[in-house]
Structure 1
Amino acid sequence: MATARLQLLIKVQKEREENLQGHFIRAQQAFVQAEQKYQGLANYRTEYIQQSLQQGAVGLGGRQYNQYVSFISKLDQALTQQGRVVQQTRNAAEQRRQSWLKMQTKRKALEKLVEQAQLKAQLADDRQQQKLADEYAAQRFYRQRLLAEQLPSE
């Protein structure tokens, strides 16, 4: 009876674990996407700076120079903001991973309890079977002995 309850609890734990695993996978994907976006912005910034340097070698007006500097500043702000997003998604993914692993540990502990309970029940059943077999053998021996005593000796 207790084993059946534990099996039900294990089933619930497995469902929760799968749910947490799904949350972790989605958080990990969000982290990867955020990191890719950050890398894309960083690459774009580098290319833009190189382009502005090439343009500067040819000659830039004051207004064009200010536009390049202003845009690079905006790219820096976007990189800083995306860096925060990367860190937040990394932290969220790690928290979800820890929750998932914690639930996995609980489930495994419950499975171990069920295994131990089943083993204990099997040992008790084996002892009972042995006891019955011993009683049967003792009764058989007693009957044979009784029969041997009742038979006339020749």
Structure 2
Amino acid sequence: MITERLALLIKVQKEREESLQAQFVRAQQLYLQAEQKYQGLANYRTEYIQQSLQQGSVGLGGRQFNQYVSFISKLDQALTQQGRVVQQSRNAAEQRRQSWLKMQTKRKGLEKLVEQAQAKTQLIADRQQQKLADEYASQRFYQRQQIAEQGG
């Protein structure tokens, strides 16, 4: 009866664990997407700076130079903002991973309890069966002894 309740609880825990695992996988995907976007922005910034340096080598007007500097500043702001998104998504993925692992540990603990309860039940059943076998053997021995005493 207890093992049946625990089995039901394990089933519920397993469903929760699968849900948490799916949440972790999704959070990990979001983190990787945010990281890719950050890398894309960083690469674009680097290319833009290289282009502006090449353009500057042939000559830039003051206004054009200010536009380059302004745009690079906006790229820096975007990188900073995306860096925060990356960090937040990394933290969220790690939190979900920890939740999933906790649930997994909980489920495994419950499964161990069920195994122990089943082993205890089996041990009791084995002892009862051995006791019955011993009683039967004793009765058979006693009956044979009675027959031998009567016959001989």
Report the TM range for the smaller structure's normalisation: over 0.9
Q: Tell me the secondary structure at the aligned position of residue 60 of structure 2.
A: coil
- Structure 1 residue runs of 4+, over 2 Å off? none
**What is the Cα deviation at residue 62 of structure 1?**
1.5
**Partner in structure 1 of residue 136 of structure 2:** 136
- Report how far residue 61 of structure 1 moved: 1.2
Could you tell me how far 1:76 is from its partner in structure 2?
A: 0.5
What is the deviation of 1:43?
Answer: 0.5
Structure-2 residue corresponding to 1:69: 69
**What is the match of residue 57 of structure 2?**
57
How far the C-alpha of 1:99 sits from its partner, in A, is 0.3
- Report the TM-score, using the length of structure 2 for normalisation: 0.98
Matched with 2:104 is 104
Q: Which amino acid aligns with 1:148?
A: A
**Equivalent in the alignment of 1:42:** 42
SS in 1 for 2:96: helix
Gaps of 5+ in 2: none
Which residue number in structure 2 is paired with residue 81 of structure 1?
A: 81
Q: How does 1:10-25 map to 2 (within 5 A)?
A: 10-25=10-25
SS in 2 for 1:60: coil
Post-superposition shift, 1:63?
Answer: 1.5
Whole-angstrom distance in 2 between the partners of 1:141 and 1:65: 111
- Please give the alpha-carbon distance, in whole angstroms, between the structure 2 residues aligned to 1:15 and 1:150: 69
- TM-score scaled by structure 1? 0.97
1:113 paired residue number: 113
Counterpart AA for 1:29:
Q
CA distance in 2, matches of 1:124, 1:60: 92
1:21 Cα deviation (Å)?
0.5
Residue identity in the other structure for 1:92: A
Unaligned 5+ segments in structure 1 are: none
Match of 2:2 in 1: 2
Q: In 2, Cα distance between the equivalents of 1:149 and 1:42?
A: 103
Q: Which amino acid aligns with 1:64?
A: Q
Overall identity of the aligned pairs, in %: 83
Number of equivalent positions: 152
